Structure 1
Amino acid sequence: MKKLVFATALAIGSLGTITATATTPIFHDGIMEGIFAQDFTEIKIAELPEAVTKALEKDFPGAAITKAYVNEESQYKLEVTQENGKTLELHADAEGNWLEM
């Protein structure tokens, strides 16, 4: 019975280790960051799909895009400055639908 309890505890403990290493933090310059699979490449603002820019105009009137990025899945990351000076990071698909990231 003790062996069964020990084996179960060992198995459960190893599952926690596997999960923890899936988002292993990295360190550089004394700052810890998680490794994420989202690789965005900066693009020119003029290269954004019209649906994305229209969605921004509709949902965030007066906001200006300062930088734009795209990933392999045609998802866009926008760095936006609102009229009041507040900055936002927004994510959208090519059809102009906002994404939670």
Structure 2
Amino acid sequence: MKKLILSAIIVLGSLSSYASIEAAPAQTKTVVSAQAEYTEVSADAVPAAVKTALQTAYPGAKLDKAFVNEKKEYKLEISVGDQKATVFSDVNGNWLKI
């Protein structure tokens, strides 16, 4: 008789654990940032501060193409020897991490 009561308690106790309220999944927020649109400009339109920063950081670098966005951030396609790279700078010649 004790075994029957004990097994009934165990069965009822295990059923009640499945009847508990399930926690709602945490809401996730998705942030999508659109890449800024850059328009191509001539190498002469690039500010002197950006050109100076480019020559300081990458001696002997050749500016192949330059692009600018509404925030006056510059996307510079450069080549140093046989290597090509794209770097980003603000109007004051500070490098940006994108």
TM value normalised by structure 1: 0.70
Query: Partner residue of 1:32?
Result: none
| 1-structure distance, mates of 2:53, 2:59 | 10
Structure holding more strand per residue: 1
Residue number among 83, 86, 92 corresponding to 1:86 in the alignment: 83
The reply to whether residue 99 of structure 1 matches residue 93 of structure 2 is no
Whose radius of gyration is greater, 1 or 2? 2
Structure 2: unaligned runs, 5 residues or longer: 1-19
CA offset at residue 36 of structure 1? 2.8
Partners in 1 of 2:87 and 2:70 — Cα distance?
Answer: 17
- The equivalent position to 1:37 in structure 2, one of 32, 35, 38, is 35
Identical-pair percentage: 32
Cα root mean square deviation, aligned: 1.6
* Aligned structure 1 segments of 4 or more residues deviating by more than 2 angstroms: none
Structure 1 residues not aligned, in runs of 5+: 24-34
TM superposition shift of 1:37: 2.8
Q: Distance in 2 between matches of 1:97 and 1:76?
A: 10
